[in-house]
A and B are shown apart, each in its own frame.
Chain A
C-alpha cells in the first residue's frame, strides 16, 4: 500500500518521510497533500485500529468497515488536526467510538454470546477482611509467556476475556489490551472515571482467577 501511495501521489521535490519520522511530522506532510506520508501513517496504525475493532466486535467484516471509516475520518480531519492529542490516541478513540456505536445497535438484538457470572470469580474475605483461598493457588505469572506459545492456551485466554459481562469486557479490552486512558473511556462510554476504574478492577480480578485454570 505504501508503494502505491509513493508511486501515485508523491509530490516531486519533497523529501521522503523517514520510517522513523514522528507521527506528527507525517500528519503535517499528509495534511499538505503528501500521499506517502499518509500511507506511512496508515501502515503504522492499521493493525492497532483493526485490533480495537475486532476485539470489541468479534466480527472480521464489521471490523474491516470500522478500519475504513476510521481512516476516512482521519483523511477528512487531517487539515484541522492540531496535534493537541497524539495522532495515535485520537485514531484509537475514533475506532473505539465507531465500534461501540455498532455494539450499541447490536445490543438491541438478542445476544448470542453467553456471559459468565463474575461474582464467583472475585476474591472472598472473612469478616476480618482476611483473604479466603480462591481458585488454583499456583503462581502462573512467571511462566505465562512461554505457555502463550500454545495456540490452545491463547484461544482459552481470549475466550475468558470475551466471556466477561459486556460492560467489564469493553473496559478491560479498551484499557488493558488497547491502552486507552481511563479518562478517554469514561468519555466514550458516558460513565465516570471511578466507574471505569471499578469495572476494570473487577474484570482483572475475575480474569486472574480464570487464567489460573489455563496457565500452569
Chain B
C-alpha cells in the first residue's frame, strides 16, 4: 500500500487507486488490513467503495437485452440451411 510502514493507514487517494485490486482479492495480504481500516474509519471512502462495487451489477441489470423473436427465427432458418449443407 505504501512504501514505508505496511501497517500505516493509506491515504484516500491510495485507497481509491487500490479498489480494483481490493475487490478482485488481489491486494497483497499485508495491505488488506490497512485498506479495510481506512474504509471503516473514512465514511466518504466507504461510500465510494460500496457504490463502486455495484456499478457493474447495476449496468448489467439495466442493460439486459434479448435477441428479438423475429431475428431468432431468421437465425434459425440460416443455421438450419447451413448445417444441413455441411459435408457429412
Contact = CB atoms under 8 A, between A and B. Distances in A.
B75 A197 contact: no
Contacts of B54: 140-141, 144, 208
B47 A157 contact: no
B76 interface: yes
Interface stretch (A12-20, A68-76, A108-116): A68-76
A130 B11 contact: yes
B67 A33 contact: no
Interface residues of B, number: 45
A191 interface: no
Contact of A139 (B50, B55, B67, B68): B50
A129 B82 CA distance: 60
Interface in A139-164: 139-141, 144-145, 148, 153-155, 157-158, 161
A177 B59 contact: yes
Interface residues of A, number: 59
Contact of B52 (A5, A47, A208): A208
Contacts of B82: 72, 75
A207 B59 contact: yes
B23 to A, nearest CB: 10
B7 interface: no
Nearest to B70: A64
Nearest to B58: A144
Contacts of A72: 78-79, 82
A157 B84 contact: no
A71 B11 contact: no
Interface in A193-208: 197, 200-201, 204-205, 207-208
17 contacts: A1-B76, A35-B80, A46-B72, A50-B67, A55-B63, A67-B71, A141-B54, A155-B62, A157-B59, A157-B63, A161-B62, A175-B56, A176-B59, A177-B59, A204-B55, A204-B56, A215-B58
Query: Nearest 3 pairs between A and B by C-beta?
Result: A129-B11, A1-B76, A176-B56
Given A51-B63, A60-B71, A67-B67, 18 more contacts: A1-B73, A5-B76, A5-B80, A8-B84, A38-B79, A42-B79, A47-B67, A75-B79, A123-B16, A131-B13, A131-B42, A139-B47, A141-B54, A154-B62, A158-B63, A177-B60, A177-B63, A211-B58
